[in-house]
């Protein structure tokens, strides 16, 4: 069985704290087979991770967490940016044009500036056959979500829609990588994509921190990474 963390942030995200090599090294230590770098409205971190991945023995899926007009959306297997601010339907269709697929992250979750898709928005979008072809999963376990109830609500929604379920960490710091993961038959990104399309993925809950520990760790790491982020910004 393969194990993937499909929702990871690096210093290329405005709120990320970890360098790309550090993320890859941590993924290797944890025994993850596949990871997806999904920085906020940015592809540079994912492309950098793809360049370095072979040295760490971890396969990288290029992705983005796109800020749609309706809430955040994870896009996988794309290598160029998608404009923020489009509707959910427009965004999914654009990702589909680029050969990618989408997963709805932390749907219905609130707090800490979360921009989450609502259940009715997802339901309405999936009535479009082209959207349903590309929006193939829902993140039903977010390992660092402060809104724990939303994980349960997301799982119920995915079951109702008969759509693939994923688990991810949504890690913004090194130590939370792998807190949530997706298990699938095989070990490669191609195997994972097939499992998502066949709805055979399983969710793994690896660890869980309190809200205060999550917030405190992020704050300390954010301060500690300020110079690295400034260097990235000037490139």
Res 234: pLDDT: 64
* pTM, full prediction: 0.96
Q: What is the mean pLDDT of residues 156-175?
A: 97
pLDDT digits (tens, 9 = 90+) for 41-57: 999 999 999 999 999 99
Does CATH number 3.30.43.10 belong to domain 2-233?
no
Nearest CA to 218 among 207, 231, 209, 228? Answer: 209
Mean pLDDT of the chain: 95
Whether residue 35 contacts residue 166, with contact meaning beta carbons closer than 8 Å, is answered with no
Over the stretch 76-88, which tens digit does the pLDDT of each residue have?
999 999 999 999 9
- Taking the C-alpha atoms of residue 60 and residue 64, their distance in angstroms, rounded to an integer, is 12
More confident residue, 227 or 138: 138
CB-based contacts of 50: which residues, under 8 Å, 6+ apart?
Answer: 60, 62
Contact between residue 138 and residue 165 where contact means Cβ atoms under 8 Å apart:
yes
Please check whether residue 24 is in contact with residue 58, taking contact to mean a CB–CB distance below 8 angstroms. yes
Q: For 201, phi and psi rounded to 5 degrees?
A: -70, 155
Q: How is the chain split into domains, by residue range?
A: 2-233
Position 188 confidence tier, pLDDT thresholds 50, 70, 90: very high
């Amino acid at each position: 069985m393969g194990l993937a963390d499909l929702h990871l942030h690096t210093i290329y995200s405005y709120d990320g704290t970890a360098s790309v090599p550090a993320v890859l090294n941590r993924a290797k230590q944890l025994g993850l087979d596949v990871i997806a770098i999904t920085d906020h409205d940015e592809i540079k971190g994912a492309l950098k991770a793809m360049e370095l991945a072979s040295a760490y023995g971890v396969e990288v899926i290029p992705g983005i967490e796109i800020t749609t007009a309706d809430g955040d959306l994870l896009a996988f297997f794309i290598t160029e940016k998608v404009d923020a601010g489009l509707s959910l339907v427009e965004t999914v269709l654009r990702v589909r044009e680029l050969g990618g697929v989408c997963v709805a992250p932390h749907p219905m979750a609130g707090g800490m500036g979360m921009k989450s898709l609502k259940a009715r928005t997802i339901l309405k979008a999936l009535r479009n056959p082209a959207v349903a072809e590309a929006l193939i999963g829902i993140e039903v376990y977010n390992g660092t979500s402060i809104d724990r109830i939303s994980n349960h609500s997301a799982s119920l929604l995915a079951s109702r829609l008969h759509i693939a379920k994923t688990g991810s960490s949504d890690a913004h710091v090194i130590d939370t990588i792998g807190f949530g993961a997706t298990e699938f038959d095989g070990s490669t990104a191609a195997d994972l994509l097939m499992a998502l399309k066949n709805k055979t993925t399983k969710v793994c809950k690896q660890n869980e921190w309190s809200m205060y520990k999550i917030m405190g760790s992020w704050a300390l790491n954010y301060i500690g990474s300020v110079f690295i982020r400034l260097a990235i910004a000037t490139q």
